[in-house]
Copies of this chain bind each other. A is one copy, B any other.
């Protein structure tokens, strides 16, 4: 059960609600976010929900039987919109496009990609400075100095930044330079990281785990929301299956299912989803047709020279062509 509280609830009314719910035998989590105050109440006893609904200070009450509560569409119908400022929004019915290199490599690289984005009216740039790599001997990113440079160039050009955070201690140092914190597939169930990202007032994009279920992804999102941050979006990026003709198997089914089960915006990552450059654009288009609120893909001036993920990265020409097709199709959704 989720109890939405009135914005200016009196403390005596709140205490009354808490003790009433306790009396039913439910465990309460008191959640304050940027947008509201909720009580998430968990228990199994039967009771008349109207008794709760009629208490002073209660704005609304909803039964949510799933393991995830606040991210469920059972209490909040329709897509939530995330506002990054300067009229950059995600989940507003248009197709949000986020593009950029796998790794931030140099000032020159960032400048060229930013120019490409500006030219194509793309407002959000992706780019990793802390890179999770299978091998300890591989390039692990430019780190915080790379992020500062990345941020400086983007700010000069009106571009928002999405970049991966890998551990709790990075949150504070990255905070000033980031518009959206990305949680990577390997950290999709790093619960301590999720807890802390719930305490931050920045947007978060959580990727589904390599073999994460829909349900696990929604519960991971619940970690963040229940810690106080509702500026959240989910990302389908391909799952691990027996098929090895492609890097991952993009799970197109996940798009409509997530849109049904949650009010959070759903983003598609076709670059990781298929992992083959020539086919990234059609997967992006298919995802949009299936209901995605946006796409995040990899672009680089010279994909063949990228320090990582070149084989799934579009060049500027391919990227421009994709954007044109996305814009043409958005009308038909």
Which chain B residue lies CB-closest to A251?
A: B249
Per the 8 Å Cβ criterion, residues 199-237 of A in contact with B are 209-211, 213-216, 219-220, 222-223, 226-227
Partner of A289, one of B195, B256, B286: B286
Minimum C-beta distance from A234 to chain B (A): 14
Residue A23 interfacial (CB < 8 Å)? no
Number of copies: 4
Total A residues in contact with B, Cβ cutoff 8 Å: 73
CA distance A184 to B265 in the complex (A): 30
- Would you call A67 and B260 a contact (CB within 8 A)? no
- Give chain B nearest CB distance to A274 CB in angstroms: 5
Indicate if A10 sits at the interface (CB-CB under 8 A).
no
* Closest B residue by C-beta to A170: B192
Interface contact B250-A283, CB-CB below 8 Å: no
Contact with B along A277-296 (1 / 0, CB 8 A): 01100110111111100000
Q: Beta-carbon contacts of A301-333 to B below 8 Å, as 1s and 0s?
A: 000000000000000000000000100110010
| In the assembled complex, A242 has its CB within 8 A of some CB on chain B | yes
- Render A9-52 as a binary contact track against B, CB cut-off 8 A, 1 for contact: 00000000000000000010100000000001010000000000
When distances are taken between beta carbons in the complex, the residues of chain B under 8 Å from A282 are 255-256, 289-291
Determine whether the beta carbon of B168 is less than 8 Å from that of A245: no
Instruction: Choose, from A81-89, A134-142, A172-180, the stretch at the interface.
Output: A134-142
Residues in B whose Cβ lies below 8 Å from that of A273: 253
Interface residues of A in 91-137 (CB under 8 A from B): 132-137
With a cutoff of 8 Å between Cβ atoms, the chain B residues found around residue A256 in the complex are: 274, 278-279, 282-283
Residues of B within 8 A of A73 (CB): none
The answer, among B137, B191, B250, for a CB contact under 8 Å with A42, is B137
B243, A249: Cβ atoms under 8 Å?
no
The 10 closest A-B pairs by CB, nearest first: A211-B211, A286-B286, A252-B252, A186-B189, A256-B279, A167-B192, A286-B290, A214-B245, A136-B223, A282-B290
10 additional contacts (CB under 8 A) given A167-B193, A209-B210, A260-B278: A134-B216, A136-B219, A137-B226, A168-B168, A250-B252, A256-B274, A257-B276, A282-B289, A289-B289, A328-B332
> What are 12 inter-chain pairs, A to B, with CB distance below 8 A?
A40-B137, A67-B134, A68-B135, A134-B220, A166-B192, A169-B169, A186-B190, A244-B244, A245-B253, A249-B251, A286-B286, A329-B329
